[in-house]
A and B are shown apart, each in its own frame.
Chain A
Amino acid sequence: MELLQTSLILGVVVGIVYSLSGAGLVVIFRTSGYISFTQGDIAAVGLFVGLAAYNSGAGYVWTALLVIAVSTLVGGLVGALITVPLEKHGHLPAALSTIATALIISGLLNLTVGGDPRSFPEVSRSEALSILGVQMSWSDVAGVLVSASVFIGLGVFFSRSRMGVAMRAVNDNKLAGELLGVPDRRLKLVSWTVAGALSGLLGLFVAPILSLSTVSVNTLLVFGFCAIVIGGFDSIFGALVAGTAIGVMTNLTSTYLDPNLVPTVLWASMLLVLLVRPNGLFGRRKLVRV
């Protein structure tokens, strides 16, 4: 029973962080209409710069702020210089450019900092509280609180703010957006910049667990990708629910079945959702008149 409780509660904790990974992808998908495969590498740049500062004596808070600032900048630059300009050729070239950019960043990082995993500082491993006998560290609590605040903020932004609604309109109907004067390029750059910041934030919670290497943040991006496929590409709420469910599901699989089965269960559940509900559990279904 204790094992079950631990699996469930820590599954929720890690799942909410998976959701954060999905949220960054949703932000870009909502304005640009495709998935970015660069987010993990954008975070990696921020994390390596942050780690260098930490090793030179910077405190944790400054390190965290630096990670987020660098990821924000890199995210904005990737959007401004590569992906958004490529969108005039269609979604496919732009989406493919995110893969190319990811590989280039990863290659450059391997050249400069090497591929060995490094330990990354965290908020604190000391116990913050205990829920149903399951101990949670300050890092766990911070991960949940920060992710939850981000979700509330994004949810309110996309549903209530005029800019958020306009961002959703940009990708849906270009012609109307243009004639209504919706500043689509600017909104897309905002989305890339915000997604960059989210990647850095995600990295801060992931790097201490997985250790920092050029591939570790990408590992979590896979969970984020599954979260938005299952939750619905355009649904922030869907990413939260699906990410949390994935966290619980993978923890239970690893505890009661076999840790090696985790990827199989993850991809199988994603395929199942795609077959039954192609727009995800919470994605808005686009009805087509016949």
Chain B
Amino acid sequence: MHILATEGLTKRFPTVTAVDQLSVTVGPGVTGLVGANGAGKSTLIKILLGLLPPTGGAARVLDLDVTSQGAEIRRLVGYMPEHECLPPDVSATELVVHLAQMSGLPRTAARERAADVLRHVGLAEERYRPIGGYSTGMKQRVKLAQALVHDPRLIFLDEPTNGLDPRGRDEMLMLIKRIGTEFGISVLVTSHLLGELERICDHVIVIDAGRLLRSSAIGEFTQATQTVTVEVDEGTEPLAARLAERGQTVSQQGRMLVVKVLGPETYDMIRDATADLDLCLIRLEQGRHRIEDVFREEVAGV
């Protein structure tokens, strides 16, 4: 079943086309939406929330049409904006209870849900203090809590790791993974950093200038190209030449050679080639392949 699907979705602003003929489907689980700043991620989320009418094409969220059933969609999804959106003079508890009521939860249920959700995102006693005194990490947690409080079936997280330090980033990512698995809530999370998404996503969609570059399961991304990194003391060029001769795909990156793994024979060939050339092998390392590299290749290919 599709959580959301778009068909030729287009959004044109007077000066720029933010989303361009986008056709993509998203299944349950955690899906990453990746693109540089200004790639159209936030615009896409606003369209999917039914807040921005598309110029062309169609989109369905939880099998509801975004142009005609926006209110029903907003009842069933949660949204964490990219920008700061918290009033400083109320406490996290009061804000989250209030926003739960805005989603239609009766007051007592809203209180219970708010307490539950704030505990899940890791806000303890400080939740009774005014938000103005919170750190960036705590504010991001409150923003996440308000998106979860009405137990949505799908949440849109717009750049949830923005402004966090490395540790806060890790905690936020783990939390998002838990939401997708333990909580059973589907997640669409945007980021301009691919590295952090590959740790938590089941599926990644890459967009650039509003166009779909790629949409595939995370496994395909990392399996697409296996490489091995070779470092020798001297004679990098002869080795590269020798390997290329034998039909290997070799590229030089600084002092290192990156060799595409075609099969187990690639490793044998590298071993034999270094031995034949009598080179001093310093490093032979399984390529720590990141989807970032795939992204780079694809952007280069476009």
Q: Do A and B come from one complex?
A: no
Residues of chain B touching chain A, judged by Cβ–Cβ distance below 8 Å, are none
